[in-house]
Structure 1
Amino acid sequence: MRVLLIEDDAMIGANLARALEGVGWSVDWVKDGVLASSAWLDGDYSCVLLDLGLPRDDGIQVLRKARARGDATPVLILTARDSVEERIQGLDTGADDYLLKPFDFQEVLARMRAIMRRSHGAADSLIGTKEIQLDMGTREVIFHGRREQLTAREYALMYALLERPGAILSREQLENRIYGWGEEVISNAVDVLIHGMRRKLGNECISNVRGLGWRVRAL
């Protein structure tokens, strides 16, 4: 899955990007508000991590622009601004959660899972259908009651498909959800991932819609 990291502090940004990549996220990192708005507009992200004290455009302005155009991507603010008024402003502008620096990385991950879960209307860590579900807490897929552990790429693939069961996603859309900037994407990367999932779960777990892309059944 892809996350947009908006952080101007070089040390915090590098450490956070490295830690996220270590648990399987593809990270696009930008360091000022203008670049953040451009990246957010062009990208297809599962989550945004947003600092507020940014050069050129403040983080609140970046968030306000995204929400004004109807972008509902889950947003976790990570900032040193600790006043009650600033926290209220961040949440009222459209952030899903607000975490103060310094923070523990495991708490960042837990809060990311929580806001992504809420974005799907899920009360627990499962998203999907009655037939197939993704456990965001354990990074497992559950198909007809059987659990299978997923690699980082498989998890990103299944998250994209189960985010909107029944929706057809093209090759380009899936590549955009799975890979970050600068990551080499071989021509049949999506096919290889889907083939691997079918070997684990059976051919019926992911359907091909000829000429359009792939989907999971909305049951």
Structure 2
Amino acid sequence: MAKHYALASYADGGDWRETEHLYVPRRDTRLRLQSLMALGYTASEVAAATGLSPSHVCNLRTDVVHTTVHVFTADAVASAFRDRWDKLATGPQANRQRSKARRLGYLLPLEWEPGDVDTDDTTEMFLSDPSSPETTENPEVLDYVAIAEAIAGRRVTLTRAELSHAIVTLQDMGVGVHETAERLHTYTRLVNRYRARARQDAA
């Protein structure tokens, strides 16, 4: 079989990777799309981020009959997920999407369990310990300006280490879990997870 190439933007910064298959198992793509809905993202918003049509997004999210998806589609969904996995949607339909996703039993990313998705560079990022060497940035390269802006409630992009620093700082300031999540444009489960890690480190 001829070899094909897929854009692995979520795994290696946009380099082309070689693959023997044009199609890969659909399960991981479906789970990522369901988690994006649980975060409040609409099919139209995901479509704009992936280059797919809204109807295609809905089909990929709900179809359990077909078992494979094209590698380009899988890569596009994984890339969109990587950019949004720790950010609650804020659009006008976000709350409605989150409520619908809860009724359908869709999981937030941090509710995934090992084995829910195939292990690769993407899933390890979300399933591993946030303080492990693989996922913790060097504290010397923290962007304290970005952290300060995030603490003030501005929407900025933070690394995992910077997000952890912001959460702990707000906790030290006496800010509650829900307000912290609102300020950092994330969700309470993530705030609680980083707070728990900080308590363990301090013990």
> TM-score normalised to the size of structure 2?
0.27
Task: Choose between structure 1 and 2 for higher RCO, CA contacts under 8 A separated by at least 6 residues.
Answer: 2
Relative to its length, the structure with more strand (as a share) is 1
Q: Return the structure number with greater helix share.
A: 2
